[in-house]
């Protein structure tokens, strides 16, 4: 594929998107909300969600269709609940005291680079949060998720046409090419030609976006460490953790990757984890599992988002219990490159650490994040609010979850106040531009209309008086 052919393919899609976007510049809030609601309604029909999930699981070979169906339904309804009634068109705020009126305007054409791990829910979410601002969107899925994305786009275009809106508000560009470099060239060209990009994919794609010269939102690397202290409700905590860790075979980068457990409840937690289907890998077989999961130092794709039975098979673990388990448990004490179980695994393998007290637990979390996952998230199961606040103050992450299942709630939930999203910013810690859950607000331009008000210029005493009293 020549550079000229890549440019032509992308420019044709971008020009169609620009034409479609200009056609809805005049839409009012009600018309915009109808576009978003129509896509959400179609995606949440049970048979549609199930079919998208089936396509996603079959083509990607990651996770399972049942959990992907639940993810599509939950994320889509949650996103619509967040967007419903939210102002995104024209005047969205008037501050009489400051004389400032805020006017929301579209960015234009948004490029969305999609991951292989969540090819069902992510395209729908991306379409909703970008269209909410009267933007057009061009989706570029990982080749393993192309069939799912194509079907999502097809259904969305049908709904747009029913409302008399241009179908080209939503398009897909294929990244499937003769080789990986050709696919990268298409993605890079798309991000270069569009007005903004959202990259919910790996670090290489985020870096590609930042080098495109176009403004971009990227996401960080997950590796969530979660503390369980001696005050935690162990049974409730373990139930949530296992539910989260095994959901969709741990495709989510928000899945708990390490538990940091107080020594006084360590045995109780380990017993509960095994009662919920966990298998503790014997210490003498840990190197064997490590070699299977990181051959040559790189994470083995054959264990990513696979059932525990498959991982046990790849690692040739001898015990029948390993092949019948829901997830594998590895006891660890080291952190860093020489201890890969301390990093992101994207698999149903849970690393556990024993700590003597809460201070050591904080140190352990900090070390894990320093190795991998800074900026993303951490969690704690505790009944001591001072400890919750201590973790939040110490951890270099965008989100700290308290007594919650991580994969379910990190990207928004009906029982916490976070925005529903499939894309979580990790701040400058994770080389991103925001620490927030990405939603429609991040795909709007704003004009601030400033009218004159009575002067608020302060006196010298108001500015420096208290300082001089304290410091002379």
Query: Does any domain span residue 29?
Result: yes
Dihedrals phi, psi of 316, to nearest 5 degrees: 55, 45
Q: Are residues 197 and 266 in the same domain?
A: no
- pTM of the complete model beyond 0.85: yes
Q: Are residues 355 and 295 in the same domain?
A: yes
Q: Are residues 198 and 311 in the same domain?
A: no
How many structural domains does the chain have? Answer: 2
Please, what is the average pLDDT of the chain?
Answer: 95
CATH number for 193? 3.40.605.10
First to last CA, the chain: 71
Q: Are residues 66 and 8 in the same domain?
A: yes
Confidence at residue 241, expressed as pLDDT on a 0 to 100 scale? 98
Which of helix, strand or coil describes residue 37?
Answer: helix
Query: Does any domain span residue 386?
Result: yes
Res. 175: pLDDT tops 90: no
Q: Are residues 325 and 391 in the same domain?
A: yes
Res. 261: pLDDT tops 90: yes
pLDDT digits (tens, 9 = 90+) for 411-437: 999 999 999 999 999 999 999 999 999
Q: Are residues 26 and 116 in the same domain?
A: yes
State mean pLDDT over 160-171: 98
Confidence of residue 4 (pLDDT cuts 50, 70, 90): confident
Res. 1: pLDDT tops 70: no
Q: Are residues 168 and 251 in the same domain?
A: no
The catalytic site residues sit at 253
Confidence at residue 419, expressed as pLDDT on a 0 to 100 scale? 96
Query: Does any domain span residue 66?
Result: yes
Res. 3: pLDDT tops 80: no
Q: Are residues 134 and 42 in the same domain?
A: yes
Query: Does any domain span residue 424?
Result: no
Which of 171-175, 208-212, 401-405 is least confident? 208-212
Q: Are residues 311 and 184 in the same domain?
A: no
pLDDT digits (tens, 9 = 90+) for 273-309: 999 999 999 999 999 999 999 999 999 999 999 999 9
Beta-carbon contacts of residue 92 (< 8 Å; ≥ 6 apart)? 102, 103, 104
pLDDT digits (tens, 9 = 90+) for 367-391: 999 999 999 999 999 999 999 999 9
Res. 243: pLDDT tops 80: yes
Q: Are 432 and 217 in contact (CB under 8 A)?
A: yes
Beta-carbon contacts of residue 136 (< 8 Å; ≥ 6 apart)? 17, 18, 20, 21, 108, 109, 110, 130, 168, 169, 170, 171
Half-sphere exposure of 110 (CA within 13 A, CB side): 29
Query: Does any domain span residue 469?
Result: no
Q: Are residues 173 and 296 in the same domain?
A: no
Q: Are residues 204 and 324 in the same domain?
A: no
State mean pLDDT over 109-123: 94
Q: Which domain holds residue 258?
A: 224-417
């Amino acid at each position: 594929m020549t550079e000229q052919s890549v440019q032509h393919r992308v420019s044709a899609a971008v020009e169609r998107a620009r034409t479609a976007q200009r056609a809805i510049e005049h839409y009012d809030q009600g018309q915009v909300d109808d576009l978003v609601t129509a896509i959400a309604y179609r995606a949440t029909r049970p048979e549609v969600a199930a079919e998208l999930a089936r396509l996603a699981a079959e083509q990607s070979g990651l996770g399972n269709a049942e959990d992907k169906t639940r993810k599509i339904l939950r994320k889509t309804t949650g996103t619509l609940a967040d967007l419903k009634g939210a102002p995104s068109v024209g005047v969205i705020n008037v501050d009489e005291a400051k004389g400032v009126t805020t006017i929301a305007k579209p960015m234009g054409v948004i490029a969305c680079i999609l991951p292989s791990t969540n090819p069902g829910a992510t395209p729908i979410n991306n379409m909703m949060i970008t269209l909410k601002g009267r933007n057009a969107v061009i989706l570029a899925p990982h080749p393993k998720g192309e069939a799912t994305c194509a079907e999502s786009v097809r259904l969305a275009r049908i709904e747009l046409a029913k409302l008399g809106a241009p179908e080209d508000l939503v398009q897909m560009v294929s990244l499937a090419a003769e080789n990986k470099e050709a696919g990268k060239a298409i993605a890079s060209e798309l991000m270069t030609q569009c007005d903004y990009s959202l990259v919910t994919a790996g670090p290489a794609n985020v870096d590609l976006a930042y080098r495109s010269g176009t403004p971009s939102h990227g996401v960080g690397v997950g590796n969530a460490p979660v503390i369980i202290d001696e005050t935690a409700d162990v049974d409730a905590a373990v139930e949530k953790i296992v539910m989260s860790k095994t959901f969709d075979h741990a495709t989510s980068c928000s899945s708990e990757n390490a538990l940091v457990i107080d020594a006084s409840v360590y045995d109780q937690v380990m017993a509960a984890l095994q009662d919920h289907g966990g298998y503790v890998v014997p210490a003498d077989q840990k190197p064997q599992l490590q070699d299977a999961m990181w051959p040559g130092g790189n994470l083995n794709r054959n264990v990513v988002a696979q059932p525990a039975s498959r991982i046990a098979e790849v690692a040739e673990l001898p015990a029948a219990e390993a092949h019948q388990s829901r997830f594998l448990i590895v006891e660890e004490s080291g952190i860093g490159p020489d201890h890969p179980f301390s990093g992101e695994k994207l698999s149903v393998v849970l690393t556990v650490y024993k700590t003597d007290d809460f201070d050591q637990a904080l140190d352990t979390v900090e070390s894990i994040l320093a190795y991998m996952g800074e900026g993303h998230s951490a969690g704690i199961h505790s009944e001591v609010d001072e400890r919750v606040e201590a973790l939040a103050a110490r951890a270099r992450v965008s989100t700290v979850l308290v007594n919650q299942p991580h994969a379910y709630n990190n990207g928004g939930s009906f029982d916490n106040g976070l925005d529903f999203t499939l894309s979580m910013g990790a701040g400058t810690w994770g080389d991103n531009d925001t620490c927030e859950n990405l939603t429609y607000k991040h795909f709007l331009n704003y004009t601030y209309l400033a009218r004159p008000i009575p002067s608020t210029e302060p006196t010298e005493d108001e500015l420096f008086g208290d300082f001089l009293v304290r410091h002379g």
